[in-house]
Each structure stands twice: as structure tokens, then as C-alpha cells.
Chains A and B, each alone.
Chain A
Amino acid sequence: MSNEHFGLNGNLVDNPLGIAKEVTDNYRTIRVLTNAYAEVKFWDDLVLRSTFGADLLNAKSNYYATRLIALGANSNGTASISSSQNVNWLNENTLTYRHLFADKHDLTALIGYTAQAYHNEDFGASASNFNNDFALFNNLGTGATLIPPTSGAVEWSLISYLARVNYSYDSRYLLTLTARSDGSSRFGPNNKYGFFPSGAFAWRLSNEPFFKGAISWINDAKLRVSYGLTGNQAISDYAYLATIVRSTAILGGANPSLRIGGVPNIISNLDLGWESNKQLDIGADLSFANDKLRFTADYYVKNTADLLFSVNVPQTTGYSSSLSNIGEVQNKGVELTLSTNLGNKESLQWNADFNISFNKNKVLRLDGRPEFLTGSGVSHLQVFNTILMKVGEPLGNFYGRVFEGIFQTEEEVAASAQPNAKPGDVKYKDLDGNGVINDNDRTIIGNGYPNYFAGFNNTFSYKGLELNLFLQGSFGNDILNYGRFDLYNLNGNNNQSKDVLNRWTPSNPSNEIPRANSQGGQRILSSFHIEDGSYVRLKNVSLSYNLPRAFVDRIGGRNVKVYISSQNLMTITNYKGYDPEVSRFGTSSISQGMDYGGYPAAKTFLLGVNIGL
């Protein structure tokens, strides 16, 4: 393998070795964390505490691509440097009163004020066309082409007022009441503050006198109920406010020059405010037989209101989307955890944790609209609006046509709603039965959320030997595999999945893969692109051995452990993409279960020795 670039359809393409050898790309940070506090005790019961912390971060990145690879070949070397400086300070002030009355009433009351502010500045500069590759990014001024520098600055701030009361009676009844008002710079002037009260009550049955004697095999039992609101402000800074961004025009006739124009970047939303989660949680914790077996069960109903959502707007506004508080969605479900601790230290011991969660979500309200299409897409594929949000339906519904196989004969084409198709083309279901296939023939073709999700962690130990197995699985979720738009398009322009060897030809009447067609690969979402994303994965397996005490003492250490471990060793799935666990849009609740060749979780093997001195 050489590090020379090569041509593909007239385009220069780098090979990975070339990129690895000829690109310098490093990033360094210096970070200082400071924290100071002052505490004043007025009486033993009443304490004023004030803390001040600052997080100072300085980062610099350097990049250089040499002329030996396509990334720098046309520009005779490309260099860029950038640097950023962050200051993030937090001040918390609380006045706490704590008193134990009559040995049984434990009361803690707190009022507080916290303030936080963040300030970031960054700049970057780039140049290209260097005489040679010697100086890398260390002397941008010698580049013949200087790229305009960039710089920016961002601030945000957050203020909270809070009050909390904790009361416990005899370690049997536990009550917490909280009220907080949070103000964020990120929201519009009409809704900067949100009010978030909550309350929780727990009853430790096992501390009741009637329980203690009666049910001895249960050593701990607790019932919990809580209801509360929390706020979410995870949006970008200044997101509500239209700012003037530059739009560069060219004027000047035969001697043209760049002229800087200004245009609002978004439609301002002065009402933009906090998203709130209203959550009811009812739970029980039980522990049996001296903690040999522990069981936790939770039932929850979480309504997320005033969802912060970048809603698509008609382009006739001049914009394509606008950040708004829309509607309400509900998540409810059950989470069960069972833990065991069997055996004993001297012989074989088995610790196991099994948890399973069932969650159902539903759209309750959508800003007055019954439904709309949304979903983050893959921009170069131009596949958008893949998600149907509809009142009464779950989140994460994929919306597209129904793939009905492949046309086999001219007769079949003639009898269908796709008269221009040819044998070998994809056949769609005519859902509205009007004899025409178009975007009115779309329906819900899958859902990105699992029916249930489970994890099973086991640790077996025997003497110094320890084996850990962690299995995890997701069941019933679909994945929109964007990769299929490229890997099955059969138009001769890019690499294909090996499945296309089984494509339709007159002699191979496939009903799964369409024919090769230079004008094929239309980017129409259908159930062809949806796959079952269920999986069970051995996330982690490790075997370790703690060397015997006697041996360790002889070499003068505290402990010596040798181990071998592997992550993602085995996955059972029908999903054809790289990795069913990958999500292109991270934790986005709207665009779940989408994959576009995301970098798969690596299968790693680790062999190690741990020596404690």
C-alpha cells in the first residue's frame, strides 16, 4: 500500500495510510479547576456556605496536510491553527438549618441562590500554498494563500433560587419538598425563568416495629413516591434571537469587490422558554436474606411539555426551521432490577445484576397540529422528513412507502400503479389505491424505539480468579439504515453491498434487490431501508487473576492482577449495517434509530497486568 492518492471518476481520493502519515492533527488543552468556599456557622444548626469555583480551559489545535495527499495536493499544503479560551464560574450560596427534634424528627431546611456564567473566545487561522512542507502549521505567514481568519465569542448565564425541606421521622418516613426557579440567558425575554417544584415521600417499612419482628427474611423494604418538575435548557446560546449574519455580495461592475451585507439568521422567537419534565415515580426497594437478593421496581410516567424542538416551517418564510416550544410527549414504563450476591468469599461467589426496562411513549399534543413530518436527515442524500409526529402515536415512527418486492415481468408492470417501471425495478404498495404511486402512498413503516431493553451483568469469583460477563440487548426497535441508499443503489457510481450480487436480472428473479440501473437509486424512503435493529451483545467479558498473597509479598507489592478482557466480542443481530447500537443523531428523542455508516463500536481485546505498590 502506498500513500499516493489516486483518481476515482476524476476525483482525487486519499487512502487511509496516506491520511495517517501525511496529516498532522493535534489538540492540546490546559485546564485549571479552582474552588474556594467560606462557611459561617451562626449556631451549630444554621450554616451559611458560599462556594466559588472556576473552570479555566485553554485549548489549541494544529493541523497540516502535506502536498503528498489529495487533502493538501491542490493547495500545496494546507495548515490551520485554532485556539479557544473558556471561563466558567459557579457561585453557590446556601443557608442551611438542620435540627434533630426529640431524637426522632430530623429536619433540614435550605434556601439558596446559585449563579453560573460562561464565557468563551476562540480564533482560527489557515493558510495554504507553502514552498515546502517543512514548517507544518508553525509559520502560517509563509503560505502564499492566506485564508481569512475566524474568531468568535459566546456567553451564557444561569441563575437559580431554591428552597428545600428534608424531613425524616425516626428513619421511617422521609419527605423532601423542593422549589426552584431557574433563569437562563438562552431563552426569550418573555420566558427566561421557569418554576420547578417537586416532592418525594419514602416509607421505610422495614423500620416499622410491626415489620421487624414479623417478616425477618426481608431485611430492608422501602416504598417511594415522587412527583416533580425539572427543566431542560439544552439548546444553543442565543437560539431565540435573530442575529445579523453576513451575506457577501459582489458589486462594482468591471472592478468588482466583495460587499458585506447583513441578514437575520433565523426568525426570532421571543417566547422561547424552558422545556419541562413532569415525572411521577412510584417505586419499591426490597432486600432479602441479608442482602443476598435485592429487588427494585419502578413505575414512572414522564410528561415532557413545551418540547424544545426545531420545527420545520414553510420555506415561504425565508427559513426552513425555527426553534420552538411545541407540544407534549409522554413516556411511561416499568424498570425492574434484580441483584443477587450468592456464595461466599471463601469459595465460589456469584454477583448478578439483571435489569429490564419497558418504555412506551406517545405524542400528546403538537402545538395545535394533528401531525407533521420531521426528522434530521442525511443532507447529501437529501432524504428528509423521515419521521411522522402524530398526536396519539409514539415518537420515532418512520414514514415512507411500502416496499413490495421487485417487478418480475412486463405484465406485472402493466398491471401495477407504476407503468413507467421496468422488470427489476422496485415495486411500491399503492396504499390509497388510486393507481398512482407518489408521496401520498406513505405510511408508518417502523419505529426507532425498542419495546424493551435489558442488561445482565455477572461476576463469578473463585479464590483469586474472577470472570465478568456483561450482556445487553435491545428488542423490537427498527433502524433506518441510510447506508442502503448508497450500498444498494446499483447505479455504478460507488461501492455496493455484496448483497447486490443477488440483484434482479432476467435470469435471477430476485424479489429483494432491484436491477442495476445507471439512473437508478432514487432516494425514496421505503420499508426497503428499514431493518430490525434488535440485538443481544456481549458488551464486556473479562477474566482476571489476583496473584496469591505469598507471591505478591515476595516481590514487595501490594497486589498483582493479570487480566484479559474483550469488549463487544459477540453480537447477535439481523441488522445489516455495521452496528445496531449506533445512532446517528445521538440521544435526540425525535430522530432515534437512524444509522448512516456510523463508526461502529470497536471490538477490543485487552491483555493487562495491574501492579499495586
Chain B
Amino acid sequence: MKEMRTVITRYFAYLLGVIMVTSCVPNLDLDRLDAQSVNSYYKNADDANAATIALYGLIRDLYRDEVINVPNVVAADDGIPFLTGNADRVALWNYNITSVNTFIGSIWASSYTGIQRSNVVLNRVSPIAMDETLKNQFLGEARFLRALHYFNLVRFYGGVPIELNEVTSLENVALPRSSVDAVYDVIIADLQEAINTLPTQYTGTDIGRATKGAARGLLAKVYLTRAGTDGASPYWQEAASQAKTLIDMGIYDLWDDYAQVFSLQNRCGKESLFEVLYITNLSGNNFTTGYAPRGAPIVPGTGSGILRVSKDLFDSYGDTDSRKAVTFLTSYTNPSSGALVQLSADNTDPALAVSFWKLADLTSTVGGAGGKSFPVLRYSDILLIYAEALNEANNGPTAEAYWAINRVRNRAQLTSLAGLSKQQFKEAVLSERRKELCFEGNRWFDLVRTGQLVEAVKNENSFSRNAAISNINVRFPIPQREMDINESLVQNEGY
């Protein structure tokens, strides 16, 4: 009996051993449980849509953070950074610019991250079997945003490396710089293709995606930039022609009142060609808390005073210019004491500084979470591009050119211009652009484009700026991080 039991025990143990061995074969090909991997993604229209929406996720940060806008303000003549704040921001202002400046690193990194996202859409969405019109829209959006990123890059750095394919391995990733011309060829080809495939309008929750008008408007601006300071450039005519086609579409117009342009209810309204959207309190930008006077108790979390308005910009507005009161905060009432606080463009105290206010969302109750849009391209910008390009292409202002600039001026309660020379008209347009479009990421680009950067920066010398600027500063340095790991890059002259 005992022997029997031993045998049974032995066989039972043996059986148990076999079960254990055979049941415990784990799978080594584990895929993630909490997210899809690239292997199982990009299979249908929903995936294609999500990949395209991610393009807008990136520009939300690009324009909310200080990447594109702040260098255009402080490295030009429109604003002064909080002088004891971020040293890299101050360095952009006084032209103590080095290749390790974090703003310069961020522009590069964010723009190329956006380009890669566009490349992913172009590579992965093309083969998906889905509605062709919708697919072409997604591809057009990817091309539009890729062009926008390259346009920012070429204006900040000059010729940059061109990557038009999704990077899927680490082979051959140390790209050399391409020429400025080659970068513009990419931008123009992308925008022309985008114009062909993008819809003119969207409805419902898709409003805000790139449209045909956005692509054409950006192309007009690209041509204008491409013409540079060359009076004989054929690009003036190209810019004028793109702007004219856009105006003739008849779907864009100016709001009657400048304040309406930036109101929450008019987001993506008739004047908007392309803007970056935010949601009050939930997912907002820092244009309210960040740019209010330092410590001002009128915004959630009190103002940070990141930037103040230069006296030069503030004084450039005439008294009757209706844009002045919309653009700037010049006084406020302290909500607890009831005292009126007068702000000034001279007072050295950042708590008393005139501040940029046109993108401030006073409905927000959460610090750093205003909901106003960042306007990337507006109809008034197109009108001014049109006016400038016509003046150059025709060696003096045409009736159409006057029509275009005066539409912008009249809306600002300013009188119409007439009887100007080519040079006078050119200066008038640039002055109008500054006032109409300030704090919208244009000023530094405009000054470089028109060859006036160095002079303008030297003229705006408040707060002991003494900018160490010279002709080399029309380009930013290539970020040192990139120089360090990519031997084929050549640094811009002077850095």
C-alpha cells in the first residue's frame, strides 16, 4: 500500500512538472497594452485623421510658447523683455546671441519636430485605402504645415537641412545644410500642391484646419520674402498675383472694428486665414498672465511681465488710431483698492509698463490659460502684402495698392493715403504692418526682409539696450547641440 502511494506521488509530481514546463512559455513579441505601436497604426481614415491632427498639436505649443513670437518682438524694436528674467530672452534683445541660446534651440527643434510629423503623414497616409478627397486634404494639411515650418527656419537660420521623408532609421541622418534657394523650392512646391488639394472651408469641429486660402496667403508671403530688397525681383509680381487671387476668392474680409479681430467669438472668422486656437482655462496660452504688467492683480495668477512695449512702438500710433487701445494696456483699476494704475512705456518698473494686450483673454480664470487665438495669417496682412508687392512690381503705388493699404488704414480710423512716391509708399506699408500686425510674429522677419534690422535695433535703444548688433545678425546661429552632433553642418558667419 505504501509502495502504491509512493508511485502515485511520484507520477503526480512528474505530471505537475510537465504541466509547469509546458504552460510557462511567455511571449517575447509583446506589443504595448496602453497604446498602439506604429506597426498596427495608419490603417484607416481615423488613424490618418489623428496623424494629421497631431500636426496642429505641435503648432499649439510653437505659438503658445515663446518660440516664434517672442524673438520677433524682442530681437526687433517692438518690445523689451523682463530684464532680470530669462537671460536667454534678454540676450535676444541686446544681441548677446550665442549658439547655446535656448530660444534658438527651441525654434530649430520644434520646427523639425513639426516637419517630421508632416513627413509621417505624407509617408503613411498615402497608402491608406480611404476616401481620396479626404486623403488629399490630409496630405495638403501636412504640406501646408511643413512649408510653414521650413519658412520659419529659412527666415531664422538661412539655408537649413532638408528632410522630406519620414525618418525610420538612424542611417544617414546627419544632413548638410541646403541652400536658401533649395529650401524655398520645397516651400513653394508644398504650398502649390496644398493649394490644389485643400478645401476652401471647413465646418463644425474641423474649423481651424488649413485651407486653400491659408496656403495661398502663405505663398504670397513667401514670394514677398523671397523678393527681399531686390526692386527688380520677379517675385513681387508673384506675390501680388497670389494676393490678388486670394482677395478675389471673396470669402475673406476685414472686421469693421479692430477689436473684433481678436474677440473670442470671431475666432476663425472672416478675417482669419490661419490661426492657432486655444481654449480658455482648459488649454490656453500665456498671452494674458504672461504679458500683463509684472504683479498686476488683474489676471489670474497676477501678471508675469515677460515683455513690455517699446516706447518707439507705442509712440508710432497716432492718437486717432483705433488700434492703439486694443493693442496695449495703458492703465488698469486695481480690483481690491479701486485705485487707477497708470502704465508707462518709460517707467523702469516692470509693474508699471505698458503691455501687449490684444491677445489677452479677460474671461480666463486660470493662470496662463487664455483662449484667444494666435493669428498666423490675417486678411489685413494679405492686403498689405498686396499693396507692397504692387508698389514694387509697378515701380510705384497703383490704385489697387492704395485701395489695399487704405482699407487697412480706414478700418483703424485713419485717413486714406494718396500721392506718395514709391519710397514713401514702401515706408508707409512697413509702418502700417508694424502697427497692424505687432505681437503676431512678423516684426523681426519684416525688418530682415526689408534690410532694416540693424538700423531699427540701434534706433530702439531704451533701457540701455546697447545691442551688439551687426550685419551678421540677420540670421540666428545654428544651435550648438546640432553643430556638436552633425559634422556636416557649417555655422552661420559670425557665430
> Quick check: is A93 within 8 A (CB to CB) of the other chain?
yes
> Quick check: is B102 within 8 A (CB to CB) of the other chain?
yes
User: How many residues in A have their beta carbons less than 8 Å from beta carbons of B?
Assistant: 86
- The answer to whether B21 and A50 touch across the interface, beta carbons within 8 angstroms, is yes
Known: A10-B302, A264-B38. A316 touches B283 (CB 8 A): no
- The answer to whether B24 and A115 touch across the interface, beta carbons within 8 angstroms, is yes
**Closest A residue, CB atoms, query B295:** A10
In chain A between 244 and 298, which residues have their CB closer than 8 angstroms to a CB of chain B?
244-245, 247-264, 267-269
B170: chain A residues at CB < 8 Å are 267, 269, 311, 313, 317, 322, 324
> Quick check: is A420 within 8 A (CB to CB) of the other chain?
yes
| Assembly CA distance A154 to B41 (angstroms) | 19
**Closest A residue, CB atoms, query B61:** A247
Most interface-central of A89, A184, A257, A261 (chain B CB within 10 A) = A261
8 Å CB contact of B21 from A93, A154, A261:
A93
- Of the candidate stretches B202-210, B333-341, B386-394, B416-424, the one touching chain A is B202-210
Contact bitstring A300-327, B, C-beta under 8 A = 1, else 0: 0000000000011111111110101000
A256: chain B residues at CB < 8 Å are 208, 267, 277-279, 371
- The answer to whether A316 and B173 touch across the interface, beta carbons within 8 angstroms, is yes
Known: A50-B17, A314-B175, A316-B161. A262 touches B54 (CB 8 A): yes
8 Å CB contact of B20 from A50, A420, A493:
A50
Contact bitstring A236-249, B, C-beta under 8 A = 1, else 0: 01100111110111
> Quick check: is B261 within 8 A (CB to CB) of the other chain?
no
8 Å CB contact of A493 from B84, B94, B206, B485:
B84
- The answer to whether B30 and A315 touch across the interface, beta carbons within 8 angstroms, is no
> Quick check: is B483 within 8 A (CB to CB) of the other chain?
yes
- The answer to whether B20 and A91 touch across the interface, beta carbons within 8 angstroms, is yes
> Quick check: is B100 within 8 A (CB to CB) of the other chain?
yes
| Assembly CA distance A518 to B25 (angstroms) | 64
| Assembly CA distance A208 to B58 (angstroms) | 74
8 Å CB contact of B484 from A52, A263, A267, A385:
A385
Most interface-central of B20, B21, B27, B278 (chain A CB within 10 A) = B20
User: How many residues in B have their beta carbons less than 8 Å from beta carbons of A?
Assistant: 102
User: Chain A's nearest CB lies how many Å from the CB of B64?
Assistant: 10
- The answer to whether A249 and B173 touch across the interface, beta carbons within 8 angstroms, is no
A158: chain B residues at CB < 8 Å are 26
- The answer to whether A155 and B30 touch across the interface, beta carbons within 8 angstroms, is yes
User: Chain A's nearest CB lies how many Å from the CB of B50?
Assistant: 4
8 Å CB contact of A254 from B268, B304, B479, B481:
B268
Most interface-central of A157, A316, A322 (chain B CB within 10 A) = A316
Most interface-central of A158, A250, A251, A491 (chain B CB within 10 A) = A250
User: Chain B's nearest CB lies how many Å from the CB of A532?
Assistant: 26
> Quick check: is B83 within 8 A (CB to CB) of the other chain?
yes
B277: chain A residues at CB < 8 Å are 250-253, 256
B14: chain A residues at CB < 8 Å are 38, 40, 48
8 Å CB contact of A268 from B100, B168, B371:
B168
> Quick check: is B115 within 8 A (CB to CB) of the other chain?
yes
**Closest A residue, CB atoms, query B16:** A38
User: Chain B's nearest CB lies how many Å from the CB of A121?
Assistant: 9
- The answer to whether A258 and B282 touch across the interface, beta carbons within 8 angstroms, is yes
- The answer to whether A250 and B60 touch across the interface, beta carbons within 8 angstroms, is yes
- The answer to whether A385 and B24 touch across the interface, beta carbons within 8 angstroms, is no
> Quick check: is B108 within 8 A (CB to CB) of the other chain?
yes
Interface residues of B (CB under 8 A from A): 10, 13-14, 16-17, 20-21, 24-39, 41, 47, 50-58, 60, 83-84, 87-88, 90-91, 94, 96, 98-100, 102, 105, 108-109, 112-113, 115-117, 119-120, 160-161, 163, 167-170, 173-175, 204-209, 264-269, 276-279, 282-283, 294-295, 301-302, 304, 367, 371, 468, 479-486, 495
- Supply 14 A–B pairs (Cβ within 8 Å), ascending by A: A52-B20, A157-B30, A245-B35, A249-B56, A250-B279, A253-B208, A255-B205, A256-B279, A263-B54, A269-B170, A314-B485, A316-B112, A318-B119, A373-B485
